[in-house]
Amino acid sequence: MSCPMPPAQPYRGRFAPSPTGLLHAGSLTTAVGSYLQARSQGGEWLLRMEDLDPPREMPGASAAILRTLEALGFAWDGPVVYQSQRLDAYQQALDHLVAQQRAYPCACTRREIALAGQAGLDGVVYPGTCRAGLAAGRTGRAWRLRVPAGLTRVVDGLHGPIEQDVLACVGDYVLKRADGLFAYQLAVVVDDAWQGVNAVVRGADLLDSTTRQIVLQQALGVATPRYVHLPVLVNAAGEKLSKQTLAPAIRPDAAAAELRLALTRLGHPPPADCGGLAELWAWALAHWALSRVSAAPVVVQEA
Ligand code: GLU
């Protein structure tokens, strides 16, 4: 008897910059790789502004990022989603987890955690102090996910199989912070699911977050997308290019040169006679192959 295959889902990817600074070489490289991975498979490519943390936001950065992407010839599907408009959805997801006893309030201060916890993957591992309930007289400040014990596995498109014991390496992590802001991990999982994203292509600095996100997807009962983590760009000292290392902003008025550089860093150096923006995109779409992209960090010369 033949088994009918479920219809293949069309590829749906996204780029999700945080407007904490302008687009720089690192974030542009991620945008280019995620765009080509989607478009070369006839997929959709969505844009989501992760403006979840107003104190860390740079005024004007959201609009500037969109202008730069446009100047470089990116075209996204549908309207841009702003996480600042999605707070009700994050609260609903948290309420659901709390109702299912998958999330709980935590009264611990940073200092208390630092004293009781041990060093982990991302700071101190939460020691589980409030897991079984708040101590008498204490008030909840943050909300944490009750992380199940055991290994979480993922096969990354570039890095291969990865497994992690999230409870041992990170502990019950924060979903809503003591200052009332929702954590990136919650927002990204809720939005990837809500937007129907089934292919996440992003920077390798987030590789470590992936298992945390899978644990949360399982708790919420939503699908896990495929993952590809593109190389981060580092300077000669091995530091990731970022606002902190004063990475210069991408110049919209030098769009073709910027795109050529990003493609080269992704293992796709365009031929010298491939001049304009449209030509570069056409060449890149025709030649894009993930197998040519380095999994290791790419060292760039700083201007
Ligand atoms: N907003 C995150 C960043 O700019 C990316 C999140 C993601 O792609 O999952 O680093």
7 in a structural domain: no
Neighbour count for residue 240 (Cβ, 10 Å): 16
Residues written for the chain: 303
Catalytic residue annotation: 243
Q: Total domain count for the chain? A: 2
Question: What would the DSSP string read from start to end of 129-165?
Answer: TTTT-PPTT----EEEE-PPSS-EEEEETTTEEEEE-
Q: Which atom of ligand 1 is nearest to the CA of 30?
A: 8
147 in a structural domain: yes
Query: Tens of pLDDT along the chain (303 residues)?
Result: 456 666 678 999 999 999 999 999 999 999 999 999 999 999 999 999 999 999 999 999 999 999 999 999 999 999 999 999 999 999 999 999 999 999 999 999 999 999 988 999 989 999 999 999 999 999 999 999 999 999 999 999 999 999 999 999 999 999 999 999 999 999 999 999 999 999 999 999 999 999 999 999 999 999 999 999 999 999 988 999 887 777 899 999 999 999 999 999 999 999 999 989 999 999 999 999 999 999 999 999 875
- Label the pairing between strands 233-234 and 298-299: parallel
Global model pTM greater than 0.75: yes
SS3 220: helix
Cβ neighbors of 154 (< 8 A, separation 6 or more) are 161, 162, 163, 210, 211, 214, 224, 227
The whole-number pLDDT of residue 179 equals 96
The whole-number pLDDT of residue 9 equals 81
6 in a structural domain: no
CA of 185 to the centre of ligand 1 (A): 10
**Domain co-membership, 294 together with 203:** yes
The whole-number pLDDT of residue 85 equals 98
CA of 206 to the centre of ligand 1 (A): 7
Q: Using CA atoms, how far apart are residues 145 and 97, in angstroms rounded to an integer? A: 8
CATH number assigned to the domain comprising residue 278: 3.40.50.620
The whole-number pLDDT of residue 4 equals 66
285 in a structural domain: yes
Region of residue 43 (left: phi > 0; alpha: psi -120 to 50; beta: else):
beta
Q: Is the CB of 21 under 6 A from ligand 1?
A: no
192 in a structural domain: no
What range does the domain containing 92 cover? 88-184
